[in-house]
Amino acid sequence: MTKTPTMLDNSPNESPCSQLAFGGNGGSVLRLISASSQCPFKTSDGVLLNVECFGPNYGGGGIDNIHASTADHSMHKRSMHNSDEWPLLLYVHGVCESAETWGVQTLVQYCAKHCWRLIVLELAGHGLSENKAGLGRATCPNFDDLVNHVVEFAEQMSGKFSRSRGFAMCGCSLGGALVSFAVRGILATRRDKTEQHEHPDFYGIALLAPSLGVNPGAIPPSPVVTALKALSFFLPSHGVLTPIEHPTYACPPNSRRNFSGRWPLSTSSMLLDLTSNRVPNDVVSGNVQQTMEGLPSLYVLMGDKDEIVPLQSVLDWFDAVPLSSDNGEKMLTVLKGAGHGFFHERLKENKKKKTAFDHLFEYLNRCAKKDFE
């Protein structure tokens, strides 16, 4: 097993981030890239989920329109003829979010630069996805239902883009937790297939500030938690004494896909149970080893100033994860000064953003076993 020690990343950003990310000069021009297509699918429990597909013709004008270096342009031109074989990055967002955020837009730009196809799942009740009957927007009472949706997302997209060389799963915050719990189902689904050669390789998972723990200071007093949990059964979609979501990360800024307001009671209850009970108990009981058995590789990005998820909680979980072979990569990068929301900070406002995404794509490109330089 290759296990890289935790690193503190405080390397400088040498070029204007906004030029790479948004195609302008000094950040004066903002050019967003829309999805190339939508690939909705209905889950086994009857929920119609929206999926946004980006690439290979990024922005409708070809990937040469992406602002990148001369070397990158040469690489793009060499790669366009076999774009069907581009690896897939299957991304799962956090609670209250959608495919229209700054973080997703930055992923789009980086995928274009590195010749990856980005596929974004909008969770049940989020974005353009439907929800189960009786449940409102951003209402997620059952974590395992969402995990099953992520497993089916991986199965559907790897089948649809079967000529791709491989795929990696990526998730941020709640999405990171969902991806980690989906590993077992993804591996089981692939074992059940009779013609493995017709499906892309599974490279591994990349987790960005995953919800694998919670700051004790963010937990209300026990009597309040008990009362709110009881209330969530009767009013699952109502927000009472729950966190307030301000989707300042929306991209474009006028997007209505992201939830705004107090989190639904059932969503808050689900997340609290996951982060304060389920994940810590899985680490202690050894269930993490069972859930993650057979995982090809793991990469985690965390901020050392994460105000929501304690770094130590993620380190405890990380140490418990096994890999499927001695050659598997297991790596955790700690971003100096970064908080829980580093994924959505605009590059022109926070130089850590480019550093974080550069590290992410170094991992992804190693997984794809391709030299993108």
The two tokens of residue 33 are: 């890239």
Res 142 pLDDT > 60: yes
Give me the chain's average pLDDT, please.
81
Res 190 pLDDT > 90: no
Percent of the chain with pLDDT over 70: 78
Q: 3-state SS of the chain: helix, strand, coil percent to 5?
A: 40, 15, 45
Which carries the bigger pLDDT value, residue 199 or residue 370? 199
Which carries the bigger pLDDT value, residue 70 or residue 108? 108
In tens, the pLDDT along 205-259 reads 999 999 999 888 777 777 777 777 776 767 777 777 788 888 899 999 999 999 9
Q: How many other C-beta atoms can be found within 10 angstroms of the C-beta atom of residue 180?
A: 28
Going by pLDDT thresholds of 50, 70 and 90, the confidence category of residue 81 is low
Rounded Cα distance between 140 and 132, Å, is 10
At which residue do the structure tokens 């195609």 appear? 23
Cα angle, residue 158 at apex, residues 327 and 371 outer, rounded to 5°: 45
In tens, the pLDDT along 315-359 reads 999 999 987 666 678 999 999 889 898 888 766 544 544 568 889
Structural domains of the chain, ranges and CATH numbers in brackets: 2-215+250-256+279-367 (3.40.50.1820)
Q: Which CA distances in Å does 318 have to 108, 180, 260, 330?
A: 27, 11, 32, 9
At which residue do the structure tokens 């022109």 appear? 348
298 phi, psi to nearest 5 deg? -140, 135
Res 76 pLDDT > 60: no
Residues paired with 42 in a beta bridge:
48
Res 5 pLDDT > 60: no
So what's the pLDDT on residue 79?
A: 55
Q: Which has the closest alpha carbon to 54: 105, 97, 130, 94?
A: 105
Rounded Cα distance between 29 and 18, Å, is 9
So what's the pLDDT on residue 327?
A: 61
The two tokens of residue 229 are: 């949990």
**Residues whose CB is less than 8 angstroms from the CB of residue 133 and which lie 6 or more positions away in sequence, other chains included:** none
